[in-house]
Structure formats: C-alpha cells, structure tokens
Amino acid sequence: MAAIKPRYGVYTPLVTFFNDDESIDFEATLSHAKRMADSGVVGLVLQGSNGEAPHLDHDERKALVRAVRDRLNNLGYTHLQLIVGCGAASVKETVRYISEAKESGADYALVLPPAYWVAAMNASVIEGFFCDVAAISELPILIYNFPGVTGGIDISSDSIIRLAQADSKIIGCKLTCGNVGKLQRISSTLPAESFAAFGGKSDFFLPALVAGSNGIIAALANVAPKTHIELLRLWEKGDLKAAQALQSRLSHADWALSKVGIAGVKAVVSHHFGYGIGKGRRPLGVATIESLSEDIVSSIQAVVEIEKKL
C-alpha cells in the first residue's frame, strides 16, 4: 500500500523548552503543543531545527515524541499528525532514528541530507543516501532542504523529483531554502495527491501557496499559528488583497524572528503566552524579551496582536 502524504495545512516546527539545568521542560513543551493543537494546526514537526534535534540524545527524542503523542491523544487530537526530524550523518543512524520515532508515535520522518563530509555530498551521493534510507525506512519520508544547517548543501528540484519518482515512501519535502521556483517545479511535476511540497518559512507563505505548497511549515507558527491559518483561509477564499496584507505582517515578523535565534523564539513565546523560558542548550544561549531590540519586538508584537484577536 502506497504511503499517504501529510495533510494540507499549517504545521508548527515545535521548539523544545529546557529548564535552567538544560533538562527538557516537558510541562512547557506539552503546554506549547496543546496551544498549537487548540489553534487548529494540522500537524507538528518535532526535533527539527527549531526543536534543537542535534542537542537531543536518542532517549530524549523518544521520550519527547511519546509525551507529545500521548498528550495530544488524551486531549482528543488523535488526528493531528507528527512529523519527526530523523536526519543523521549515516544511513544506519538515520534509519535508527526513524525506527525509534515510529515506535514513539511519529507519522512521518523529516530527513536532512548528511552534511559532515560536505565536499563529498554531490547530487549522486545525496540521492543515493535518500534511496538507501527510503528502502528500509519504517516511516514515509519528507526531504528537508535547509542549506543554512547543512553547510550550504542545497538539494535541486531535479534530485527531489527523481527521488520521489524512485520510491513511493518519499512523499514530500520541506523547502526552507526559500526558492519558490524550486517549489513550483516540484509541485507542477509530481502528483499533488501523493507528494506534499511545503514552503518552509512564513516569509514566503503566500507565494508558496501560489506555487503549489501543501500549506506551510514555519517557525513563526510557534508564535502565531492562528494567523497562519487565517492567511490560508483568505487564500482559499480568493481574497488576495487581504491575504497580501497579512503576508506583509508575517514577512516583517518572520524577518525579525530570524534575527533572534532559537532561544529568542522561546523567549517571545514565554513572554506572550506564559510558559517556558528562552533557553537553548549550549552552545546556544539564553534570551529574554528585554534582551531583544525594539524593532524586533514591535514587528513580532504586531502579529501577536492579530493572533490574540483570532
């Protein structure tokens, strides 16, 4: 039976909250997951870049996925999909992460290309990696293209299309690269009923929808999930003028959020919604709302005000 692609809609790449001693703050993280679910997102991405995946060991990853799945199920959100980051430097380790994620309640695996030996990662090697992973993966796979965390590796539309056509378990991609043309080429070549190409930043949410995005997976949804859902509603309604106006707000806020780092994202959430602290695991730092510049705070505040009215 062919794997089913993720549902169309807004997905939040969930931050992982930590206590002062750098242990996982499960209470804050689960409160955050609940707020996202209550807001109407169709899924969460756990242990992606915003979730500080490289800073979590195997046991922590398993415990976090299981805790989120169980909490969502207990709240009645059994339909909410979990995409879990499983990328590693080798096929063997990646497949192990995928197996553990499935056992813990994940629906999909989000996989970065291996980036330790950047110079060796040509298109052929990268495609071979994904084919080898897909051949034995226990979960359907989304290719994660994010040059900013892979030493500049930027997977082409040609490679993504070839991989999707080669293995039915490769059912989507997240394009944090911001290349709308790449998204357009992928969405117009691969069948929409079986492949989900996602834009990966709020900064180009509306252009991504025009280019065939399956919704959005965006860090700013940690702050304003309802606002993203509203933009999607306006797009589907055909109210382009209102959608453009809201996209402008999101673009300014997303640009501001990109300057504060992961700890800053958590600080913003903590300040506006009352749980967690702005702490990343070292070498990432600590942030508070007071440590952020006024221009950053004001751009994000504008979106928070919209969020709290929805």
Active-site residue identified among 97, 108, 144, 201? 144
CA distance 172 to 141: 7
Residue 261 tokens read as: 């780092």
Active-site residue identified among 5, 62, 169, 174? 174
115: left (phi over 0), alpha (psi -120 to 50) or beta: alpha
Q: With contact defined as beta carbons under 8 Å apart, do 70 and 77 qualify?
A: no
Q: Is 24 annotated as a binding residue?
A: no
CA distance 63 to 72: 14
196: left (phi over 0), alpha (psi -120 to 50) or beta: beta
Annotated active-site residue 144? The verdict is yes
Residue 268 tokens read as: 């913003």
The CB-based long-range contact list for 284-288 (8 Å cut-off, 24+ gap) reads 284/52, 284/55, 285/261, 287/260, 287/261, 287/263
Residue 192 tokens read as: 């929409």
CA distance 118 to 152: 8
Partner residues linked to 279 by β-bridges: 286
Binding site residue list for pyruvate? 217
Q: Which residues are annotated as a binding site?
A: 217
- Catalytic annotation, residues: 144, 174
